[in-house]
Amino acid sequence: MNIHFKENKLFFEGVLLEDIIQSHKTPFYLYSQKVISDTYKNLENILSSEIFFAIKANPNQAILKLMKNCGAGADVVSAGELQRALHAGFDPRKIIFEGVGKSKEEIEFAIQKKIRLINAESIDEIKLINKIGKETNAIINIGVRFNPNIDSNTLDKISTGKKTDKFGISIEQLNEVISLSKSSDHINLKGISCHIGSQIQSTAIFGKVFDTMKKTADLFFSCGIVLEYVDLGGGFGINYEKNHNDLDIVNLGKLVSSVFKNVPYKVSFEPGRYLIARAGIIITKILTTKNNGGINFLIIDAGMQTLLRPAMYAALHRVEALNDLQEKNINYTVAGPICESSDIIAKDIQLPMQKSDNYLVIHDVGAYGASMASNYNSRGLPTEILVNENKFSIIHEEENISEIIERDTIPDWL
Ligand code: LLP
């Protein structure tokens, strides 16, 4: 547990929370370096596979450098993410480029940077990469992302592996992919991948994915295509209601080693959430309290501009008060400051009595928190801080409103 009371004072790792709060404007993100590196090492040990951090979950340079130092590769989905990964020092041979819509320029950029694999997500894209190879007289290493038509049993908005989802190439087009790759002289098909969705809670679903991918790989070999890499995606779920009971990765590790025993290719995963969600919290201040229609509202400074997940997916995040040692006997709805009714962070939660200027903690926001934040309502992006034992450092400066205004230009006819 990274946030804890010691002698009635609240600490985040070895840092007294009060010290950070006094010197930084809320809302801000706090990340625990220890939780990130412990989670990474544990997952790597259990899966004994290569791990590519899906950097969309948290693309901050300090976080990426930490992941890289832990031994991770990077899974990127745009040229922007690729630049972030390169800038943080990832070896291009440990970067894979997925993504359902890549422009020609993005593909050319990835080729120029000599990354491990560009994973094509459509027949058109395979043809385009082959064409670029022909134009530049090169042979380009690619992977193919398949859509295995497996229901990940997660929210529709984060499901990616059913046949009606926009991602990957339908598994029904397997033979077409094989013959296209054989007849295309400027690509070298070295890998296959899949990712069926995010926040998956059941290892049985991964069992289905592993079986399908193993069979698919066997088919490639039987057609004379030697694969070097099989990537099994990310999607490992965490339990946002509790701070335990996440996807059973020990079981997942057993499954992967039994299905892919002694295979002649490298097996990898590309998790995002699992590696970092638990490492982050938001500290937010109560701006005002009110009772509307019998509901006790706490209006806080962190809203959907800081953490979009509750408004976008009705996602749950545990919210606690910094005066948590007092009796939790009041029912509150915690809402952000944004002018949207969907800007609710948590409904009907029990907290001790609150008043303006008190602080709350929002838990498990390390993944898809800051990376999905916006400056809607012209509230700048929040500060992010990394804590390492008893030290802390800003890793992302709060966005300043004058910088935002300066990016607009007024035409000379106005
Ligand atoms: N690989 C690919 C190709 C992906 O599209 C994703 C996530 C991942 C890996 C990592 O998935 P993870 O291990 O983090 O579940 N914004 C949503 C999650 C969207 C995930 C999109 N793709 C949320 O806040 O829940």
**Which atom from ligand 1 is nearest to the alpha carbon of 272?**
14
Whether residue 337 contacts residue 344, with contact meaning beta carbons closer than 8 Å, is answered with no
Average pLDDT, rounded, for the chain: 95
Check if 3-30+278-406 and 99-269 are the same fold.
no
Ligand 1 centroid, distance to 233 Cα (angstroms): 9
- How far, in Å, from the CA of 312 to the mean position of ligand 1? 14
Pocket of ligand 1, candidates 49, 56, 206: which has the most ligand atoms within 8 Å of its Cβ, to mutate? 56
Report the alpha-carbon distance of residue 133 to residue 185 in Å, rounded.
Answer: 8
Q: Which atom of ligand 1 has the smallest separation from the CA of 155?
A: 25
In percent, how much of the chain has pLDDT > 70? 100
Q: Mind listing the pLDDT tens digit for each residue in 345-368?
A: 999 999 999 999 999 999 999 999
The per-residue pLDDT for 7 is 82
**Between 3 and 350, whose confidence is greater?**
350
**Number of the ligand 1 atom closest to the C-alpha atom of 77:** 3
Tell me if 198 CB under 6 Å of ligand 1: yes
**Sign of the torsion angle spanned by Cα atoms 356, 287, 285, 290:** positive
Residues with Cβ < 8 Å from 363, sequence gap 6 or more? 3, 240, 243, 281, 317, 318, 319, 320
The Cα angle at residue 9 between residues 4 and 15, in degrees rounded to 5: 65
pLDDT at 319 over 70: yes
pLDDT at 74: 98
Give the Å distance between the CA of 110 and the centre of ligand 1: 21
pLDDT at 296 > cutoff 70 = yes
Domain residue ranges in the chain: 3-30+278-406, 99-269
Q: Residue 2: which pLDDT band, with cuts at 50, 70 and 90? A: confident
Q: In this model, does residue 169 exceed pLDDT 70?
A: yes
3-state DSSP of 219-267:
HHHHCCCCCCEEECCCCECCCCCCCCCCCCHHHHHHHHHHHCCCCCCEE
pLDDT digits (tens, 9 = 90+) for 99-142: 999 999 999 999 999 999 999 999 999 999 999 999 999 999 99
- How far is Cα 272 from Cα 202, in angstroms, rounded to an integer? 17
- Write the CATH number of the domain with boundaries 3-30+278-406: 2.40.37.10
C-alpha span between 187 and 180 (Å, rounded): 10
**What DSSP designation does 390 have?**
T
Average pLDDT over residues 327-339: 94
- The whole-number pLDDT of residue 3 equals 86
pLDDT given for residue 1 in this prediction: 53
What is the structure's pLDDT at 259? 98
DSSP 188: E
- Asked whether the predicted pLDDT for residue 187 surpasses 60, the reply is yes
Beta-carbon count within 10 A of 42 CB: 12
| 370 against 324, higher pLDDT | 370
| Best of 144, 198, 372 for a ligand 1 pocket test (most atoms within 8 Å of beta carbon) | 198
Q: Is 158 in the pocket of ligand 1 (CB under 6 A)?
A: yes
Indicate whether residue 199 lines ligand 1 (CB < 6 A): yes
* 3-class SS of residue 207: helix
Q: Distance of CA 183 to CAs 176, 189, 222, Å? A: 11, 11, 17
Residue in 70, 194, 223, 339 annotated catalytic: 339
- Res. 218: pLDDT tops 70: yes
In the reported structure, the alpha carbon of residue 305 is separated from the centroid of ligand 1 by a whole-number distance in angstroms of 19
Q: Which CATH architecture has domain 99-269?
A: Alpha-Beta Barrel (3.20)
Closest CA to 60 of 50, 49, 74, 71: 74
Question: Half-sphere exposure of 76 toward its Cβ, with a 13 Å CA cutoff?
Answer: 31
In this model, does residue 310 exceed pLDDT 60? Answer: yes
pLDDT at 332 over 60: yes
CA of 34 to the centre of ligand 1 (A): 23
Whether 70 is a known active-site residue: answer no
